[in-house]
Amino acid sequence: MGTVVEAANKEAPGSALAQKNPKIVFVLGGPGSGKGTQCAKIVEHFGYTHLSAGDLLRAETKSGSENGTMIQNMINDGKIVPSEVTIKLLERAILENENDKFLIDGFPRNEENRAAFEAVTNVEPEFVLFFDCPEEEMEKRLLGRNQGREDDNIDTIRKRFKVFLESSLPVIEYYDSKGKVRKIDAAKPAEEVFETVKALFTPVSDKAAA
C-alpha cells in the first residue's frame, strides 16, 4: 500500500518531472467560479493540456489497479488521500503526455498539497490562476445549473465554500507573496472573463505585434 508514497519520497532531488521542466499553471477558484469553462477555452486557444486532480483520482479508482483499490478504500473510510498519491498521478499524466504546458485544476487544495508537490517534483508553477468570485454569484450559478449533481443543494454548496476558503486561501496567499498569483474577476460573463485570461497567456511578443 505504501508503494506510491515510497516511490514519491525517493524521487525528490532530481525528479523526472523536473527534468522534463513543464510549464505548469495551477488553477484555483471556489465551486461555481467558472474554472472548468475557462480551462476549456485556454486549452482550445493556447494548446495547454488540462489535468484535474479529482478526475485522475476517479479514473484510477475505476482502473482496478492496486493503487485504485487503495484510493477507493480510503475514500470509503472517509480518509483524505495522501498528497503524494495525487501528486504521483499528476506526475504520471504529465510525463506520459508529449505536451509541455499543463493546467492543473483544483490542486493544490491546501498548504500540505502545495508543499508536497514542490518537495516531490522539484517543480514550481509558472503562476497561479485564481478565479475570484463572490459567494452569492457562485451559489446562484451552482443552484442554476442542472447537471444532476447531488451535491448542488444549498447546505452542501455552503460547506464546499467554507472548505475552499479555509484550505485553499493559504495556498493563494503563499503564492501571492512570491508574486505568482494572477487574480481574475470571475463574476463577469464568461466571454469577458476570458478576455482577461487571454491577456495572461498571450506572449509579450504577440502583444507587441498586435
**Is residue 35 part of an annotated ligand binding site?**
yes
161 annotated as ligand-binding? no
Q: Is 106 annotated as a binding residue?
A: yes
- The answer to whether the annotation marks 34 as part of a ligand binding site is yes
- To the question of whether residue 37 is assigned a binding role by annotation, the answer is yes
In whole angstroms, how far apart are CA 178 and each of 172, 173, 174, 181?
10, 9, 7, 8
Cell numbers 497567456: residue: 201
Q: Is 32 annotated as a binding residue?
A: yes
How far apart (Å, rounded) are the C-alpha atoms in residues 33 and 133? 6
Strand partners, 137: none
Asked if residue 204 belongs to a known ligand binding site, the reply is no
Residue 4's SS3 state is helix
Q: For residue 47, say whether it is annotated as part of any ligand binding site.
A: no
Is 113 part of any known ligand binding site?
yes
Is 108 marked as a binding-site residue?
yes
Is 188 labelled as part of a ligand binding site?
yes
H helical segments located in the chain: 3-11, 16-20, 35-46, 53-62, 66-76, 83-95, 111-121, 135-144, 154-177, 190-201, 204-209
Is residue 41 part of an annotated ligand binding site? Answer: no
Encode 26-56: b = buried (16+ Cβ within 10 Å), e = exposed: bbbbbbbbbbeebbebbeeebebbbbbbeeb
Q: From the annotation, which residues make up the binding site for a ribonucleoside 5'-phosphate? A: 58, 79-81, 106-109, 149, 160
Q: From the annotation, which residues make up the binding site? A: 32-37, 58, 79-81, 106-109, 113, 145, 149, 160, 188
Q: From the annotation, which residues make up the binding site for ATP? A: 32-37, 145, 188
